[in-house]
Structure 1
Amino acid sequence: MALKRDENPTSPGSRRRLLEKQRLQKMARSPHSFVRGSTDLFYELLSEQNDHIPSGPAIWICGDCHTGNLGPLANADGEVEIEIRDLDQTVTSNPAYDLIRLALSLAMTARGSDLPGIVTEKMIEQMVGGYREALSGRPQLKDRPSSIRVAMKKAVAGSWKKLAKRSIEDTKPDIPRGHSFWDLSRREEGALKKLILSDEVVQLATLLRSRESNSDVTLLDAAYWRRGCSSLGLFRSAVLLGVDAGDEHSYCLLDIKQAVKPAAPSCKGAKINGNNAARVVEGASKLSPFLGERMIACSLLGRDVFVRELLPQDLKLDIENLKPREAVHVGRYLAAVVGRAHARQMDTSTRKNWRTELGRARSKSLDAPSWLWASVLSLIAKHETAYLEHCRHYAWVFKNALGL
């Protein structure tokens, strides 16, 4: 099937203005949405506190470890785990940065749920407890909070039909043009056709255990994907493939995303791959093996891009409107997930030393490191201020949308 083209296709040159407007609107939805979309600001503010933050072991970190970047992921054999699901910012750096980013995200979620401040304190205490437990090799990842159980149940019950409705809003073998999907330029179409039918990508499309390695792979449709927040404006494409193996036929949905230089700082002396897509794939293989095994780094029209197959089991966690007990439980569980991703990169001695470091600098009234609590307090205040300034400065973008 030929690639679809609207009567009035959107050219690459006209995308930037529309995407920037959408990004500003997304960031203005709530303080937590602003935090999730402002990674650059997070690290800019965090650099002012570096003297108080302990230097953890140099390992691969997520770099943007907020709650929306964790969730159920499947491997090629169909097994499902909660892992880090977005590695755009991954670098070799200080694991304390992931802890602070997650604590800030959870604190903003608690504020959005109108929970009292004591819940934020307990959530951060339990977060540190769950993380340290993972470093000891005994993370309680089977004791899932109810919101995580719901997500896992949905993930395990995933199907191609559900993935298609969720991602491309249709179960037909094409990608409907509209709000989320735009036409590609002819130059982009040509480059994608070459890339998609390369040996590397065909191999990725037949990776799943249910597909034969000698299956015929056909490009059915491709479109520019208007998705994400902080990455809006970078190239991103959804590609639908048909995979034929004799009497068996299945579909494969690929996400092709541009990779750029991360905002997260790397450790001094760290050897970071100059190819940003290769950096993302390497970080994914270290932190989220289920995701890393089904990603490859490529080049498209001079851009570093990574390609991954989207599976029905891949979901974003929905942990808004939490109750107090659930919020505390979620904090502990998600920190254990991150701790497990960090711990698998450390030897026994390194894990023990880092765990000991996290047990220091506690007061009688707070069962968590004072540097973590102080960092979160400072970042909440500064992000709240920046959020209101963002809304005021870009008021013109929101007036019509809000009916003001």
Structure 2
Amino acid sequence: MMTPSDLLRERRALGRKARKETPRSAHAKIGNTHRDPVDLLRENSLGRVEALVPLRYGRMLASPFTFYRGSAIIQAHDLSTTANSGFHFQICGDCHLMNFGGFATPERALAFDINDFDETAVGPWEWDLKRLSASLCIAVRHLGHGDRLADEVVELAVHSYQYWTERYAAMSPLELWYELITFERLERIVTSDDSRQRIRNGIEKASRRTHDTMLPKLASRREGIWQIRDTPPGVFHVHGKTTLFTHDDDWLGLGDWRKLMGPIYKHYLKSLGAVRGNLLAHFEMHDVAFKVVGVGSVGTRCLILLMVDPHEKPLFIQFKEASTSVISRYFDAPAPRHQGHRVVHGQRLMQGASDPFLGWSSGPFGRTIYGRQLRDMKISATLELFQKDTFRDYAGLCGWVLARAHAKAGGQATEVAGYLGNGDQMAEALVSYSRAYADQVEQDYEKFRHACRTGQLEARTDADMAADFVA
């Protein structure tokens, strides 16, 4: 009879065996890039709020890095033609370096973790690591730090992922479940003074990003009711004078925000369960507005609900449309029963701690939605201010977080550790991959720019669209 130690050795051996079928050097290849990036972006824009699609392209047009952030579908297509080790489990699906950040746990600790799961799905773990690695390379290049640092930060991220995967392979499932990467731990592990100061600044900044401090910035009180201020195109009322919805839109046809939010909120409460439902029963709805978020998400339906309790304390809940993951388009796995549930399930599996108000819903006309708190102590990195040593530290931290997320969600850290081994093969392969893919992204970006310049795609900036609303 095999002992637990025998079983763990056997699982590690499976990882080593996978190298024969898929050598680690195979990960240097970027896949089949004979596709039209403009066509893929058009496909990915279908179903979005039509008037906001030009804003999506405008934000992507800012740089090759913002283009990369907004084009997860292109890399998913390319990755689908690359080799993988055969170990598949829940992945983030859009694991670029700006989808890591700080947020408050239910116990009010400040955690550093992956914070965007719109594309989460079952897939090859390598896809997350490659999207992270390429994003580091592209960002470092874009900010003028040179190819040498780009190679170095990719290597640091992969080595960190490798080191921590080995550590997590020795942990029990329960130990992994309780593993939380807090800002206090970050401060102890980083090597540069600039990184330590940025972590301290981040803790202070997060403490100020609460619902209370957000209220006067986003809303005004009128006749005892708090109303969200319109600042189009970023924030507007669906049924208001500054709406960007067309007359034939089904949501606009409802005529009133209560008819829109009522069914969404009802289904959302069911997903939270009785305890959190009882808590939210103390709050009264005051207003709902549409909010444009991110780069790749621009044009997807996103509402912010402002509620207030009897003590005049606010709570903002964000409700965002969940559509088919780009990973699911290119990797064959069982289809989720509900796209909003897919996002919530993936987030709960992968994060060390999740928002207590994370839930899913179905809106009018069958759209699938998930809900979470808006900005509760949420912070993200300001890459433009990073020194070189800060980039090095940040790359290692992202590799650590991704290793923890994969180990917790997949339960296959032992196999992945066996596949990675202790050498430099995977890091060397992904340095080559990231260089080549960064070159490819720059080529795709130029095709995208050409499409915008020649009118194949319409791109508008935030300032340009805001000017439409100036009297």
- Which TM-score bucket, shorter chain as reference? 0.7 to 0.9
Q: CA distance change for structure 1 residues 191 and 338 in 2, over 3 Å: closer, same or farther?
A: farther
Structure 1 Cα separation of the partners of residues 299 and 461 of structure 2: 22
Q: CA distance change for structure 1 residues 270 and 177 in 2, over 3 Å: closer, same or farther?
A: same
Hey, what does 1:143 align to over in structure 2? 189
Shift, 1:295, TM fit: 0.9
- Normalised by the length of structure 1, the TM-score is 0.82
CA displacement 1:168-198 (0-9 Å, x = unmatched): 6346532111222222236162433423653
CA displacement 1:35-54 (0-9 Å, x = unmatched): 00001111122233x13x43
Q: Which sits farther off after the overlay, 253-262 or 148-157?
A: 148-157
| Structure 2: gaps (5+ residues) | 1-47, 169-180, 239-251, 465-471
In the alignment, structure 1 residue 352 sits paired with structure 2 residue 414: yes
Structure 1 Cα separation of the partners of residues 380 and 333 of structure 2: 31
Q: CA distance change for structure 1 residues 316 and 324 in 2, over 3 Å: closer, same or farther?
A: closer
Sequence identity percentage: 20
* Matched residue SS, 1:232: coil
Q: Which sits farther off after the overlay, 304-313 or 225-234?
A: 225-234
Shift, 1:306, TM fit: 0.5
Q: Which sits farther off after the overlay, 73-82 or 93-102?
A: 73-82
Conservation of the 8 A alpha-carbon contact between 2:91 and 2:406: yes
Structure 2 Cα separation of the partners of residues 319 and 306 of structure 1: 29
Structure 2 Cα separation of the partners of residues 294 and 400 of structure 1: 33
Structure 1 Cα separation of the partners of residues 315 and 375 of structure 2: 8
Structure number with the higher helix fraction is 2
* Matched residue SS, 1:379: helix
* Matched residue SS, 2:279: coil
Structure 2 Cα separation of the partners of residues 83 and 68 of structure 1: 11
Hey, what does 2:283 align to over in structure 1? 217
Structure 1 Cα separation of the partners of residues 279 and 363 of structure 2: 24
Shift, 1:155, TM fit: 1.2
Aligned partner of 2:121 among 78, 84, 91: 91
Structure 2 Cα separation of the partners of residues 190 and 380 of structure 1: 46
Hey, what does 2:218 align to over in structure 1? 169
Hey, what does 2:66 align to over in structure 1? 33
* Matched residue SS, 1:297: strand
Structure 1 Cα separation of the partners of residues 164 and 205 of structure 2: 25
Residues 4-19 of structure 1 mapped to structure 2, 5 A cutoff = 16-19=49-52
In the alignment, structure 1 residue 54 sits paired with structure 2 residue 85: yes
Structure 2 Cα separation of the partners of residues 354 and 84 of structure 1: 20
Structure 2 Cα separation of the partners of residues 320 and 265 of structure 1: 33
Hey, what does 1:240 align to over in structure 2? 306
Hey, what does 1:329 align to over in structure 2? 393
- Alignment-mate amino acid for residue 339 of structure 2: N
Conservation of the 8 A alpha-carbon contact between 1:110 and 1:322: no
Aligned partner of 1:195 among 259, 263, 267: 263
Structure 1 Cα separation of the partners of residues 398 and 228 of structure 2: 34
Structure 1 Cα separation of the partners of residues 53 and 332 of structure 2: 35
* Matched residue SS, 1:344: helix
Moved over 6 A (4+): 205-208, 266-269, 399-403
In the alignment, structure 1 residue 284 sits paired with structure 2 residue 284: no
Hey, what does 1:377 align to over in structure 2? 435
Aligned partner of 1:106 among 118, 136, 141: 136
Q: CA distance change for structure 1 residues 239 and 207 in 2, over 3 Å: closer, same or farther?
A: farther
Shift, 1:268, TM fit: 6.7
CA-atom RMSD, angstroms? 3.1
In the alignment, structure 1 residue 299 sits paired with structure 2 residue 397: no
Shift, 1:337, TM fit: 1.0
| Structure 1: gaps (5+ residues) | 1-14
Q: CA distance change for structure 1 residues 380 and 361 in 2, over 3 Å: closer, same or farther?
A: farther
Structure 2 Cα separation of the partners of residues 400 and 356 of structure 1: 48
In the alignment, structure 1 residue 230 sits paired with structure 2 residue 296: yes
Structure 2 Cα separation of the partners of residues 26 and 268 of structure 1: 28
CA displacement 1:251-298 (0-9 Å, x = unmatched): 110111100001114897743413111100000101125335421111
Bigger Rg, structure 1 or 2: 2
- Alignment-mate amino acid for residue 287 of structure 1: M
Shift, 1:226, TM fit: 2.2
Q: CA distance change for structure 1 residues 324 and 206 in 2, over 3 Å: closer, same or farther?
A: farther
Aligned partner of 1:181 among 225, 235, 259: 235
Structure 2 Cα separation of the partners of residues 17 and 164 of structure 1: 29
Conservation of the 8 A alpha-carbon contact between 1:360 and 1:369: no
Q: CA distance change for structure 1 residues 163 and 298 in 2, over 3 Å: closer, same or farther?
A: same
Conservation of the 8 A alpha-carbon contact between 2:95 and 2:132: yes
In the alignment, structure 1 residue 313 sits paired with structure 2 residue 377: yes
Structure 2 Cα separation of the partners of residues 379 and 214 of structure 1: 46
Structure 2 Cα separation of the partners of residues 399 and 224 of structure 1: 19
